[in-house]
Structure 1
Amino acid sequence: MKSKSQSLKLPNPVNSNPSHDAEHVIYVAGTGGGKTSAVKYLGLVPKTSQAVFFDPYRNYAGAKFQGQMCHGTSSKAAFVKALLAARKRGKSFKLAYIPQDGATNHELEFFSAVVWSMGNGRSSKLYVVIEELASCVETTGKLKGKAGELLRGGRQYGLVIHSIFQRGQEVPKTVTEQSSTWWIGAVNSMSDAKWLADKKGLNINDIAALTSAKVNKQKIGKPIAEYLLVRDGIGNVESKSLNCHSGLRC
């Protein structure tokens, strides 16, 4: 039996535009490290953007995202209809898909296929936030299917992918190699810190010294997440912190 995503017969994206810059972002940190708060408050997903969320744990649906309500649905048909209508209107929106089966490969593939079909290199960019990526994938090699296509080919169709996970070793290399900006919070182990340091040419001690929002809430009573923001270019690293409750940067 064909899956629902296969039977939708979705179109391909249109108007390839290679002039778009590579802007994919990853957020990596252990539990309580502030990943979702970074998505919400840092502005890497612009306030006035068109944005769509793969939201298995309802981190966005039913709440405001930078002042704009993020509507959510678990219905595949309703999600396709709402996203298509929102893209046609051409205005800012925030829409979340809440997968009924949770963070699984087939749910991510459905979401990715729908988003891929909405790409348009001459229209407004579509920011695509994927929570719990590592739970959905079944390989650390090449990411296949429409999810992989979003990372490899989405740029030229105005699709900007933001991927969120706890350990870089658990996600396909397609995700890390295609993402030009890395938000790195406190990780769970020295092996995680070493992997990140090796990948981005960082000092392992700088990563190991980061304190999570969870730990700081216990220590100082405030959920302050310390992080490194690493962009393309040698030495292009910012060391900052974020109040995960207020959204204020320190």
Structure 2
Amino acid sequence: MPKLADPRLSNRHRFITAVTGGGKTQAIKNLVKNAKRAVFWDPDNDHKCKHFNDKQTFLAALKTVMAKGGRIGWNGDDDEAHFEWFMMCMWAALDCTKILEIIVEEAADVGLKQTMPKWTGKMWRRSRKYGGILTVGTQRVQEVPKTFITQAAEIYIGIQRANDQHYIKRQTGLEPAKMGALDPLNFYKVVKDSFEKVTFKYIG
């Protein structure tokens, strides 16, 4: 259980989606580049951080991140059971006096259902008051829980396939033609009922 809670902390969760080559990972890199504490679910080693594939060494590194800051990533087994373990670790580490950015790359590959498992659901619904900021990205928007879209404070919509455009419109109100006309690294930022076009820089 996280040690401290602050109900005044706002929801800052993000959801990011774009087709392959659309700039999803680049968008994530831009959004979390200044994070003092960041932990990545990063099976493909997309992010610059110290990676771990052993649970014990990962947990030791997580303690250091919470105490001193830093950036670490998990690049070990990437099935649903390990993802739940990862989220359980994030929940246990939270402390509202220390903001922790948790970044999930390609959430669709985890195999989550529309009803989120215990720790993933807790993190998405409750971590904000413990200092957690979740950033979840995927190429395949219809293969992740709808809650990622409907309860995110910020949604970033990049280039989308035709069969996903109408699904996203139902969840956000963004017109399909706008998604289809985007170039790589360009996204629509959706906050409540407002839409803003943003362009991210390439970060190697």
TM-score by length of 2: 0.93
Q: Secondary structure at the match of 1:47?
A: coil
- How far apart are 1:178 and its partner, in Å? 2.2
Residue in structure 2 matched with residue 84 of structure 1 by the alignment: 63
Work out which of the residue numbers 124, 135, 140 in structure 1 matches 2:98.
124
Question: Is 1:190 aligned to 2:168, yes or no?
Answer: no
Q: Secondary structure at the match of 1:80?
A: helix
Residue in structure 2 matched with residue 229 of structure 1 by the alignment: 189
Moved beyond 6 Å, runs of 4+: none
1:170-215 CA-to-partner distances (Å, cap 9, x unmatched) read 111232222110111111x212111112211112211111123xxx
Residue in structure 2 matched with residue 97 of structure 1 by the alignment: 74
RMSD of equivalent CA atoms = 1.6
Q: Distance in 2 between matches of 1:156 and 1:242?
A: 28
Unaligned runs of 5+ in 1: 1-11, 64-69, 213-224
1:28–1:166 CA contact under 8 A, matched in 2: yes
Q: How many residues align?
A: 204
Q: Distance in 2 between matches of 1:243 and 1:22?
A: 25
1:143-168 CA-to-partner distances (Å, cap 9, x unmatched) read 12211111011111111100011122
- How far apart are 1:243 and its partner, in Å? 4.0
Residue in structure 2 matched with residue 201 of structure 1 by the alignment: 173
- How far apart are 1:86 and its partner, in Å? 2.1
2:156–2:188 CA contact under 8 A, matched in 1: yes
Q: For residue 129 of structure 1, what is the amino acid of its counterpart?
A: I
Q: For residue 19 of structure 2, what is the amino acid of its counterpart?
A: G
1:14-73 CA-to-partner distances (Å, cap 9, x unmatched) read 2121111011001101111101111112xx32514211001100111xx3xxxxxx2111
Unaligned runs of 5+ in 2: none
For the pair shown, the structure with the greater C-alpha radius of gyration is: 1
Question: Is 1:33 aligned to 2:22, yes or no?
Answer: yes
Change over 3 Å in CA distance of 1:48–1:176 after alignment to 2: closer
1:197–1:204 CA contact under 8 A, matched in 2: yes
**Larger RCO, structure (CA 8 Å, separation 6 or more):** 2
- Identity rate, percent: 27
Q: Distance in 2 between matches of 1:240 and 1:178?
A: 21
Q: For residue 57 of structure 2, what is the amino acid of its counterpart?
A: A
2:11–2:153 CA contact under 8 A, matched in 1: yes
Q: Secondary structure at the match of 2:40?
A: strand
Residue in structure 1 matched with residue 200 of structure 2 by the alignment: 242
Bigger drift between 171-180 and 75-84 goes to 171-180
Work out which of the residue numbers 30, 36, 40 in structure 2 matches 1:53.
40
Question: Is 1:156 aligned to 2:116, yes or no?
Answer: no
